[in-house]
Amino acid sequence: MERQGTPSEHGYYFPAEFVPQEQVWLAWPERPDNWRESAKPAQHAFTQVATAISQHTKVCVAVSPNQYLTAALMLPEGIELVEMPLNDAWMRDIGPTVVMDDQGDRRGISWQFNAWGGAVDGLYAPWNDDDQVAAAICDHLGLDYYRAPFVLEGGAIHTDGEGTLYTTEECLLSAGRNPHLSKTEIEACLADYLSISKVIWLPDGLFNDETNGHVDNLLHVIAPGEVVLSWCDDPDDPQYAISRRALDVLESSTDAKGRRIRVHKLPIPGPLYLTQEEAAGIEPSGGMKREAGERLGGSYANFLMCNKKVFLPLLDSACDQQAMDILQAALPDYQIIGIPTREVLLGGGNIHCITQQIPGALASKQG
């Protein structure tokens, strides 16, 4: 049921990804203008991700009616399929952001979704089915939800669960989202809906990220006052300056609790590029650039934390192990599970982008 008012008014806050989770949602890919070969390779990759998570946590997959049988045949038993209309498969951005109160009661937020930029620079149209997914999932779960009066995506925000929100100016101040709102007004909206008290604005997202620089491709909050940051040591790479500007902000900031922020540098893979063969299998699109030689927004920061597991994209055999080792050292009590996900990357994101967690009802602020 849709609720009036705001989560903040009612005592609900945005919990961190590292609190206990009840389940994880994905959506089934099918767009032939985003996923090559009518999404068959992507469907295999999504199946691998869903299967890996389902071995530890309940998984639900939203699937359009015409893909239901395909998904049912490919996904293992135990994964719940929920039929609903979809435009594409980016569950982080179209699914609900679930907030909770200090008693562990949960409610959802349905952000306004316009395909990362609407008429200005959106990636596809129409997007009306995707805009209804968050409410449909809340109804399925029996969660009340709020309909936010502004455009936002789940991949554009990260939190420590203790009042700090991380985002990028490139994304939240982009012309295609909320041009009628100032930076200060956007901060106020975030406070109303997520009960955060401090926003740490990073200038830019990952180089060539077509979402206008979602923070989840650049950075991941792994503990209160602790993040991993996509890093590049090649001065000739455009990512080099982006990462250093982000580090400057992080090192000169304190979080909502006054802590200095500890930063773990996570090297980017590649750089990686769309091959001729891969590009040939994608149908032309008005909004999405899918040309041979296009640089892909590859990032190891685009992982999912779920119940003491990290589900990490494997993207480059030259540095996959280094990424796993860095995360294992930073998260010694976590199991790091690597999954080959180049096919997900070809569509414009990775494991964090295609998942949305539902925190457990008894999760506390401390996790």
Residue-wise DSSP of 94-158: HSPEEEE-TT--EEEEEEE--TTTHHHH-SSS--TTGGGHHHHHHHHHT--EEEEEEE--GGG-E
Strands (E), the chain: 2-3, 21-27, 58-63, 80-83, 97-100, 106-112, 145-151, 158-159, 164-168, 198-202, 219-223, 226-231, 262-267, 304-306, 309-314, 335-340, 356-359
- pLDDT tens digits, residue range 207-235? 999 999 999 999 999 999 999 999 999 99
Confidence class of residue 366 from pLDDT cuts 50, 70 and 90? very low
Burial 36-55 (b: 16+ CB within 10 A, else e): beebebbbebbbebbbbbbe
Give the residue-averaged pLDDT of 100-126: 97
Residue 59's DSSP bridge partners are 24
Confidence class of residue 367 from pLDDT cuts 50, 70 and 90? very low
State yes or no: pLDDT of 196 exceeds 80: yes
To which CATH superfamily is domain 7-359 assigned? L-arginine/glycine Amidinotransferase; Chain A (3.75.10.10)
In one-letter notation, the amino acid at residue 173 is L
State yes or no: pLDDT of 302 exceeds 80: yes
In one-letter notation, the amino acid at residue 84 is M
Residue 50's DSSP bridge partners are none
Q: For residue 79, how many C-alpha atoms fall within 13 Å in the half-sphere facing its CB? A: 29
State yes or no: pLDDT of 175 exceeds 90: yes
The model carries a pTM of 0.97
Q: Rounded distance, CA 70 to CA 57, Å?
A: 23
In one-letter notation, the amino acid at residue 327 is L
> Is there a contact between 89 and 27 (Cβ–Cβ < 8 Å)?
yes
> Is there a contact between 60 and 25 (Cβ–Cβ < 8 Å)?
yes
- Residue 289 is predicted with a pLDDT of 84
- Residue 286 is predicted with a pLDDT of 82
Q: For residue 249, how many C-alpha atoms fall within 13 Å in the half-sphere facing its CB? A: 18
State yes or no: pLDDT of 21 exceeds 80: yes
Q: Rounded distance, CA 120 to CA 171, Å?
A: 13
State yes or no: pLDDT of 92 exceeds 50: yes
Q: In 10 A of CB 99, how many CB atoms?
A: 25
Known active-site residue 60: no
What is the residue extent of each domain of the chain?
A: 7-359
Copy the structure tokens of residue 243.
Answer: 């990462």
State yes or no: pLDDT of 365 exceeds 60: no
Burial 275-290 (b: 16+ CB within 10 A, else e): eeebbebbeeeeebeb
Catalytic residue chosen out of the listed positions 60, 138, 189, 353: 353
Evaluated on CA atoms 121, 268, 219, 50, the torsion sign reads: positive
Please state, rounded to an integer, the average pLDDT across all residues of the chain.
97
Give the residue-averaged pLDDT of 324-337: 98
Q: Which is nearest to 164 in space by CA: 14, 326, 352, 346?
A: 14
Task: Name which of 36-50, 91-105, 285-299 the model is least confident about.
Answer: 285-299
State yes or no: pLDDT of 200 exceeds 50: yes
